[in-house]
Structure 1
Amino acid sequence: MDINDLRYVLALQRAPNLGDRSAKKLIARLGSAEAIFKEKRQSLLKIEGIGELKLQALFDPANFEAAEKEIEFIKNEHLETHYFLDENYPEKLKHCHDSPIILFSRGNIQLNNRRIVSVVGTRKITSAGKTFVTQFIEELSPLNPIIVSGFAYGVDIAAHRAAIDCNLQTIGCLAHGLDQIYPKLHAKYVDDVLKNGGFFSDFWSSDKFDRNNFLKRNRIIAGLSEATVVIESAEKGGSLVTADIANSYNREVFAVPGRPGDKYSKGCNELIKLNKAHLLSSAADLVYMLDWKLHEDVKPVQQQLFVELDEEEQQIYDLLKEKGKSQLDAIALYCDFPTFKTASILLNMELKGVIRPLPGKLFEAI
């Protein structure tokens, strides 16, 4: 996008009371942001949902003054801009009715990977929650997904750190401009995130910090990804808002269940109870529901001569060697394992290159 186009887009985004949906409606009718500002007011008033109040705010000269200052910031900080009609705009976000008309990014974000997962949850993460986040992302790592979160305390930063440890791309969606980092304590993680991905925001450097921005930011977290995973959540919380937004976008939502009396399990349990989320006990559940197939997209692992299997893996391997191709439910029955646990063990064995999945939920030893 050239500077002239950017100037008009920013002025449009800056107009108070207009909003992204109305801005997109105007662009769809007139073809570009520049054309909107050159159109007669009477013609604009004929567009449904565009009233005098919005037009008055739209043509305020202060919008262009602010746009010029933001352009200087974008240039000086070497930020990338993502206009919703350009190729570099996140593909999944294009299909969200309320997505921002323009996003700003810093870092080395590559969105050509369709496997994008948002991981959210409480800021007061428990030790069990931390363990689950780490294990979940480790289990997913052979599939090379992008991990998205909000760079906040708790589940968010645990997800980013786990992704970095697994050398996965991770994206932090910020509730403020790219001129600052909140919380300040997380400044020490910024360089690692920039090396392994980067940051997105639709807020300007001149925007004042406001806690209400976090709820607005959540639509980007939900919209970027194929699925949203809620690890831990109290009865009320921002992660539940993100889950609701993801549902409104017809994206898959997963929640980790917990004991009924646990404070930070109540939100997840409620999502599952109301059929707003799939129950998630391991990465295998997500891989199965999203139909991610390791053998189709990842180079096959050459079977090693000596592969270390734990006792449960060895039990399944011996079963498959003896009986040949078997279905997941049958394996669980023969080995006396819960189905969800069997699915997780099978995924680990597949990653080790000792079994392979077949159509019809069948598995066989290699």
Structure 2
Amino acid sequence: MNEKEVIASIALTQVLGVGLISARMLINGAGSAEKVFACRKELSEIIPGVTPKIAELLDCPQAFARAEAEYAFAQKNRINCICYNDEAYPSRLRECPDAPVILFFKGEADLNALRVINMVGTRNATDYGQRICRDFITDLKSLCPDVLVVSGLAYGIDIHSHRAAVSNGLTTVGVLAHGLDRIYPAAHRKTAIDMLANGGLLTEFMSETNPDRQNFVKRNRIVAGMSDATIVVESAVKGGALITADIAQSYHRDCFAFPGRVNDEFSVGCNNLIKDNKAGLILSAEDFIKSMCWDANPDAVPVAIQRQLFVDLSEEEQLIVDILREKGDSQINSLVVEADMPVNKINAILFELEMKGVVRALAGGMFQLL
């Protein structure tokens, strides 16, 4: 991404009165953040719904001054500025209506890895929760070695998930609620540095941004949005992990939880998620991989299923077929978004289509029209 586009994207986030959704609408309508500013006086003619007031707001030299300073900081500290239309931008996150206009990333991870999960939970992780993190990540490494593990670098389940990933050689990314000029909490600095070699640190916040309370909820939507699935390890009846799970559901992403004893304070949240059918119950990495259909061998010769010549499809089955015909091979998460159906219903439809010889399951939760 060129320097002018990066600076314009940063500047757009600094214009008072222009929120995330409006900024994305402007970028999509004009074609780039740079063109949003260059054509600000004509935007009302180019983009429906844009008022002359927007043009006035975009006349904001101080926003560009701040953006130029931030770009200089990023260059000096080898931080990648990833614009919304950049190929390196997490494609799963781009699907979300409140995705950031720009991200700041330091590290080596592929944010568009084939498989991405996040592990979240209480800051007061018990020995039980810590053991789940270690065992799950260790088994995940042997069963699914190319997975990217995302979390929030916070105390408790977050940091234990990151550390387990680092010790097992899995790529792991920490999403921060502040700028990349600091690490919060400071006690996790060593782990954060270890993560840079095989993973990294990601944020939407510029330098000099404090880790204020409201920033953590914003951080959680990135954790949920860039992942295929959210895994809650331990949670009290309330907490940030449950917010992440709710956000994941709103994005039509899979959500799983490890159960705990009914009287344990930090198992109540997970048990409630399972009881209320908001999360699938898992006991191991093997459970999770089977639920995600990640256990298919990509090198295996697929079993041929004879397709019926004149197959009768329901209206919903036909919708899925039409989407696959238009989009090509698709992950189940993409089908959930395109069809606007819950994941359990999509799973049932895909099963019926497989039995009819219309689609075939591929590795990584992908489905192919035959």
Instruction: Indicate whether 1:293 and 2:308 are aligned.
Output: no
1:40 positional shift = 4.5
The within-5 A match list for 1:1-366 is 1-41=1-41, 43-44=43-44, 50=50, 55-142=55-142, 143-144=144-145, 145-293=147-295, 295-296=297-298
Q: Give, in whole Å, the separation in 2 of the partners of 1:69 and 1:46.
A: 30
Deviation per residue, 1:237-276 (Å, 9 max, x gap): 1111111111111110001111222211111111112211
Q: Give, in whole Å, the separation in 2 of the partners of 1:236 and 1:48.
A: 41
Deviation per residue, 1:311-347 (Å, 9 max, x gap): xxxxxxxxxxxxxxxxxxxxxxxxxxxxxxxxxxxxx
1:51 positional shift = 5.5
Q: Which amino acid aligns with 2:173?
A: I
Deviation per residue, 1:19-70 (Å, 9 max, x gap): 2211110111111112211335474399566557655443222101101110
1:2 positional shift = 1.4
Q: Which amino acid aligns with 1:104?
A: F
Q: Which amino acid aligns with 1:114?
A: L
Alpha-carbon distance change, 111 to 37 in structure 1, aligned in 2, over 3 angstroms = closer
Q: Which amino acid aligns with 1:196?
A: N
Alpha-carbon distance change, 40 to 110 in structure 1, aligned in 2, over 3 angstroms = closer
Greater shift, 287-296 or 120-129, is seen at 287-296
Alpha-carbon distance change, 67 to 246 in structure 1, aligned in 2, over 3 angstroms = same
Alpha-carbon distance change, 231 to 55 in structure 1, aligned in 2, over 3 angstroms = farther
Q: Give, in whole Å, the separation in 2 of the partners of 1:40 and 1:269.
A: 51
CA contact (8 A) 1:16 1:54 kept: no
What's the secondary structure of 1:44's corresponding residue? Answer: helix
Q: Give, in whole Å, the separation in 2 of the partners of 1:55 and 1:24.
A: 15
Q: Which amino acid aligns with 1:79?
A: I
What's the secondary structure of 1:148's corresponding residue? Answer: strand
Q: Give, in whole Å, the separation in 1 of the partners of 2:201 and 2:139.
A: 24
Bigger radius of gyration = 1
Q: Give, in whole Å, the separation in 1 of the partners of 2:150 and 2:111.
A: 11
Q: Give, in whole Å, the separation in 2 of the partners of 1:291 and 1:6.
A: 38
Q: Give, in whole Å, the separation in 2 of the partners of 1:251 and 1:121.
A: 17
Alpha-carbon distance change, 51 to 123 in structure 1, aligned in 2, over 3 angstroms = farther
Greater shift, 184-193 or 115-124, is seen at 184-193
What's the secondary structure of 1:170's corresponding residue? Answer: strand
CA contact (8 A) 1:146 1:170 kept: yes
CA contact (8 A) 1:175 1:217 kept: yes
Alpha-carbon distance change, 295 to 90 in structure 1, aligned in 2, over 3 angstroms = same
Q: Give, in whole Å, the separation in 1 of the partners of 2:45 and 2:216.
A: 32
Q: Give, in whole Å, the separation in 2 of the partners of 1:92 and 1:297.
A: 26
**1:317 alignment counterpart:** none
Alpha-carbon distance change, 112 to 242 in structure 1, aligned in 2, over 3 angstroms = closer
1:294 positional shift = 5.8
Alignment gaps of 5+ in structure 2: 301-370
Greater shift, 183-192 or 146-155, is seen at 183-192
CA contact (8 A) 1:45 1:51 kept: no
TM-score (normalizing by structure 2): 0.76
Q: Give, in whole Å, the separation in 2 of the partners of 1:134 and 1:268.
A: 18
CA contact (8 A) 1:45 1:52 kept: no
Q: Which amino acid aligns with 2:2?
A: D
Q: Give, in whole Å, the separation in 1 of the partners of 2:221 and 2:251.
A: 9
CA contact (8 A) 1:257 1:265 kept: yes
**1:328 alignment counterpart:** none
1:217 positional shift = 0.5
**1:302 alignment counterpart:** none
Q: Give, in whole Å, the separation in 1 of the partners of 2:117 and 2:299.
A: 17
Alpha-carbon distance change, 266 to 56 in structure 1, aligned in 2, over 3 angstroms = farther
Q: Give, in whole Å, the separation in 2 of the partners of 1:265 and 1:49.
A: 47
Alignment gaps of 5+ in structure 1: 299-366
**1:344 alignment counterpart:** none
Alignment RMSD: 2.0
CA contact (8 A) 1:177 1:206 kept: yes
Q: Give, in whole Å, the separation in 2 of the partners of 1:297 and 1:206.
A: 48
Deviation per residue, 1:221-242 (Å, 9 max, x gap): 0011111000001111111111
Deviation per residue, 1:93-125 (Å, 9 max, x gap): 121111111111001112353111100000000
**1:350 alignment counterpart:** none
**1:333 alignment counterpart:** none
